Structures are given as C-alpha cells and as structure tokens.
Amino acid sequence: MDEHKSLLDPAQFDSYEGYYGQRLLPGAALLSYAGIGVVVLFLLSDLWRLGLGRDFAWLTAASVAGSLLIVAMARVMRHPAFARHRVHWILWLGNMAMLCMMAGNVVALGRMSYLPMIMMYFMLGVLLIAPLVSPLAFLLPHLAAICLTGAVMWLDGYRLGHWLQLLLFSVPAMSFMLVILNVQRRTALQSYQLARQNWLNATTDTLSQLQNRRTWYQQAEHALQLAEQYGQPLALLMLDVDHFKRVNDQLGHAAGDLVIEALGKLLKASSPPQALAGRLGGEEFAVLLPATTCTDALLVAEHLRAAIAALPLQLEGQPFRITASIGVANLPASSVDALVREADRQLYLAKAAGRNRVSSAHA
C-alpha cells in the first residue's frame, strides 16, 4: 500500500523542483560519496610521488577538508531540512570543496592542477542535478570559487598571469557547462510536464477532475489503515445525484456533463482540506473524511447537500437545478469495501425517504 501511495501521491507533482529532487538527488549523493574514493586514490598517488612530508600533509589537509564538504553536500541532497534552498547549498558546498582541493594543489605541488575542478563537476553530479539548476545559480558559486583560488595563488607567490590562465581555462569550461545545463533543464521541464499529464490521466477522472475510482480506493485503503493504526475516527459520504437520468433525457447529455463538472468543483471547494473526494462512476461520488466523527460527518454531508441544492446551473441560457442524496458510514469497518457498502445502503435509504437528504445509521 505504501508503494501505491508513493506512486499516486499528488505531492510529488507539486513542483518541478520537487519532482526531480526526489528522483535525482539520491543518485547524485551516491556519486558524491564515490568522489571521496577518487580523492583517496589521488592522495595515494601523491604519497607515492611525494612521500611523507610537508607537501603531502598540505594535500592531505586539503583533501580531508574537501571530503568533509562533499559529505555535507551529499547530506544536503537528501535531508528534508534543506528542501527550500537545497540546490544553492549543493552548489556552494561543492564549489568550496573544489576550492579546498585546488588550493591544496597550489600550496603543496607548486602548480595549478585542474584535475580537482574536473573531478568536482562529476562529484556535483552536474548531469544528474542539471534539471534543478538555473544557469545563474550555477555561475555565481563557481565564479566565487575561481576568485578565491586566484587569491590563494596570489598569496602563494603566483603572478597575475597564472590566475589569468586559470580564468581562461574556466570560462570555456563554464560556458560549456551552461550550455549543457540549459539543454538539460529544457528537456527535463518537458519531461516533467509530460509525466505530470500522464499522472493526471492515470489518477484523475477527466470530467469531474476528482480522483478516479482506482486511485480513490487505493488512497482510501491507506487512510483506513492509518485510522486503525492510530485509533482515529473516519467517515465516508456516498453521494448520488437525484433523477440524473431525467436530467440527461430532458436536457441532453451536455447537461449531464455540466452537472458532473459542477459537482467536481463543488466537492473540491466545499470538502474539508483532508478529505479524499472521488468519482466512483456515473453520478456517484465518494468523500472520505479522515479524523472525522459521525457527528462532524453529518454536518459536512448536510452542508454539501444544501450547497448542491443551491448550485446555479445553466445550459444554453436555460437554468436548472439538481439535488443529491447522501449516505454516511463510519468506522468500525473491516475494509473500504465494507465502508462503501454501508454508506451505499444509507444512500438508498435516503433516496427511499424522499431524496435530497442525508441518512446515517447514527442519525
């Protein structure tokens, strides 16, 4: 059931960044941890060339500092506390890690090595997090890292020409990465829009824009499990339009479609925020009310009944109105099907009693 919920959870499509963050950042985090292994390999090769001494100590210190920053970056990629500005944290921490390792190369080896920069691009997982990164967000921390590295080089006795050499190398590299970022971001945006539309088509009733039957049942099962686990109340409203066939016969199927659309909008606007509203078929709707007692469910049902009766509908200049009968069921129930059967039974009792009313076993 948790698997179904993750597939159908609307929160995953709330934003473009959130959608890709869930999918890309775990892999980018693993890639970052793998980058620490690359740093260790470079340290071993430097140990072979330099031996133990002051230069290797500088390289080790720089590599440890860079690795700690990489660990922090990987943690940011997955920790919910950083959700709001996650990408900016990733870029700044990654570039600071790059700066530490480049500075270590300058001080220890007496020359500028571009290998840490190239390695950091991979550890940042640019190709993985590209859909999340705007060109400006990428450019600013990178320029800051380049300037700070130039300052380290100047303090270590390098001439201005060496810093210009670094800059001349970096500008084409940045330009190339910006092109990749733009292409990736445009492609990712199109993929997100397509995925969101496919998700809507798979989970939403086209006419009412409410959850379709399959989606509603899966979400309802999950809500029922939570209610039983935490001992919370739960109520179900089954709603059916009165004389819906008469509307179709007298005014045409366009009027019937208009009724379904209007009911979908009304149920979205008038149901409590935590409610799960769905169209189960035809003119039959279900509204599941988590953490709702029988008394409160009856109040919600009566509010919806009155709102439906007052709903102003018009087709080709001809006004008409509808009413609905509502059946209410509450826990305990062994399953969603059992809850639906009880609410459906109450619904038919409401129709038998004259329609346009609410019925519940606890009324």
Torsion, Cα of 14, 303, 244, 333 (10° steps)? 70
Which active-site residues does the annotation give? 283
How many Å apart are CA 84 and CA 6, to the nearest integer?
Answer: 21
What tens digit of pLDDT does each residue of 258-309 get?
999 999 999 999 999 899 999 998 899 999 999 999 999 999 999 999 999 9
| Sequence-distant (≥ 6) Cβ neighbours of residue 51 within 8 angstroms | none
Is the pLDDT assigned to residue 138 strictly greater than 90?
A: no
**Cα–Cα nearest to 69, from 35, 43, 41, 108:** 35
312-323: average pLDDT:
90
How many Å apart are CA 301 and CA 297, to the nearest integer?
Answer: 6
Is the pLDDT assigned to residue 202 strictly greater than 90?
A: no
Q: Is the peptide bond before 332 cis (omega within 30 degrees of 0)?
A: yes
pLDDT at 2: 40
How many Å apart are CA 277 and CA 295, to the nearest integer?
Answer: 19
pLDDT at 357: 96
87-108: average pLDDT:
76
Is the pLDDT assigned to residue 185 strictly greater than 90?
A: no
3-class state of residue 109 by DSSP: helix
**Mean residue pLDDT across the chain:** 80
Is the pLDDT assigned to residue 324 strictly greater than 90?
A: yes
| Sequence-distant (≥ 6) Cβ neighbours of residue 89 within 8 angstroms | 73, 76, 82
Query: Is there a contact between 137 and 91 (Cβ–Cβ < 8 Å)?
Result: yes
- Structure tokens that stand for 316 in this block: 């080709």
Other CB atoms closer than 10 Å to residue 26's CB: what's the count? Answer: 14
82-108: average pLDDT:
75
- Structure tokens that stand for 167 in this block: 């800059």
241-257: average pLDDT:
91
Is the pLDDT assigned to residue 240 strictly greater than 70?
A: yes
Question: Which region among 17-31, 113-127, 285-299 has the lowest average model confidence (pLDDT)?
Answer: 113-127
Q: pLDDT category, 334, cuts 50, 70, 90?
A: confident
| Sequence-distant (≥ 6) Cβ neighbours of residue 353 within 8 angstroms | 359
Is the pLDDT assigned to residue 118 strictly greater than 60?
A: no
Q: pLDDT category, 140, cuts 50, 70, 90?
A: low
| Strand pairing report for 358-360 and 324-330 | parallel
